[in-house]
Amino acid sequence: MYLIKRLFALMLILLLLFTVLFAGRSFLVWLDSAEPVDARSNTETRSNVQWLSSEKPLRFTFSNQRTHSLRILSNAVFDQSVFLELPVNYAIKYVLYDDKGNVILDKIYHHASKLVNNSEEQQIKQIIENKQSLNVASGQSFYLPITHYPNAKTLDLTLIPEEKSLQGVVVRVHAKTPEQSIDPLNSWLKRPLERRRRATDYLTMGENTLTNAEISNAMAFWWQKIAPQGIPGIDFKSDILYETLPYNVTTYDFSMQQHDLGAYYTELGLCASISLDVTDSLIFTVNSNQYLPSLTWHDKHQFKAPIPISFAVTDNNNNYKTELIDAGLVTICSEEPLLTSWRTASGTAILTSYAGSYLVNEFASVNFDIEPSSNLNIDVRALQTNQLSVIIYDEHNQAIEHYSVTLKGDVSDFDRVINDNTQRQRVGMLNSYYLRTPDNAHHLKISAEKDVYVRLKSRFADFNYQRAISHQFLPEPINGFYDIAAWYEQRAANHYELTQLAHFTNIRTFTPPKEPELVTTFYQSKELFDKLPLSNVALVLSPDRYFMPKLPPQVFNYGLYKKNNYSPYNDSEDNNLVYRLSNNSSKEVTVSELSVETLQQLQSQAKTIYQNWYGERPWIKQRIYQLDTSAPLTLEFTAQQRPMSVVFKVFRANSSEPVELSLTQNADYKSGLTSEYSIAKQRFMLHQSALLDAFLIHPKNSQLTSYPSITQTITNDIAELHSLTLQATDTVWISVLEEYPLQEQKVRWWNHEN
Task: Give per-residue pLDDT as tens, 128-175.
Answer: 555 455 677 766 778 888 878 888 899 999 988 877 767 788 888 988
| 716 half-sphere exposure, CB direction, 13 A CA radius | 7
35 Cβ partners below 8 Å, 6+ apart?
none
Task: State the fold for domain 44-179+220-251.
Answer: Jelly Rolls (2.60.120)
pTM listed for this prediction: 0.66
Amino acid at 89: N
At CA 587, angle to CA 582 and CA 592, rounded to 5?
125
| CB contact at 8 A, 374 and 438 | no
Q: Mean pLDDT, the chain, as a whole number?
A: 80
pLDDT (mean) for 29-48: 53
We find that the CATH architecture of domain 264-344 is: Sandwich (2.60)
- Identify the H or E element spanning 603: helix 596-605
27 Cβ partners below 8 Å, 6+ apart?
none
pLDDT in tens, 283-298: 888 877 778 899 999 9
The values of phi and psi at residue 184, to 5°, are -60, -35
Query: How far, in Å, CA of 663 to CA of 724, rounded?
Result: 7
pLDDT in tens, 637-661: 988 888 999 999 999 988 889 999 9
User: In terms of DSSP H, where are the helices of 473-545?
Assistant: 495-500
Describe the chain by its helix, strand, coil percentages, rounded to 5: 10, 45, 45
DSSP string, 690-737: SS--EEE--SS--B-EE---EEEE--TTEEEEEEEEEEESS-EEEEEE
| 669 has a pLDDT exceeding 70 | yes
- Position 118 scores a pLDDT of 45
We find that the CATH architecture of domain 354-463 is: Sandwich (2.60)
pLDDT (mean) for 422-451: 90
Q: Of 205-209, 310-314, 743-747, which range is least confident?
A: 205-209
- CATH code that applies to domain 518-535+622-754: 2.60.120
pLDDT in tens, 66-88: 888 888 888 887 765 555 555 66
Q: Of 176-190, 225-239, 444-458, 570-584, which range is least confident?
A: 176-190
pLDDT in tens, 489-545: 888 988 888 887 888 888 888 999 988 887 788 888 888 888 888 888 998 988 888
Using DSSP bridges, classify how beta strands 307-309 and 294-298 pair: parallel, antiparallel or unpaired.
antiparallel
Query: How far, in Å, CA of 600 to CA of 609, rounded?
Result: 12
- Position 605 scores a pLDDT of 81
All structural domains of the chain with their residue ranges: 44-179+220-251, 264-344, 354-463, 518-535+622-754, 544-617
| 695 has a pLDDT exceeding 50 | yes
Residue 645 falls in which region: left (phi positive, over 0), alpha (psi -120 to 50) or beta: beta
Tell me if domain 264-344 and domain 518-535+622-754 are identical in fold.
yes
Nearest Cα residue to 447 out of 410, 490, 404 = 404
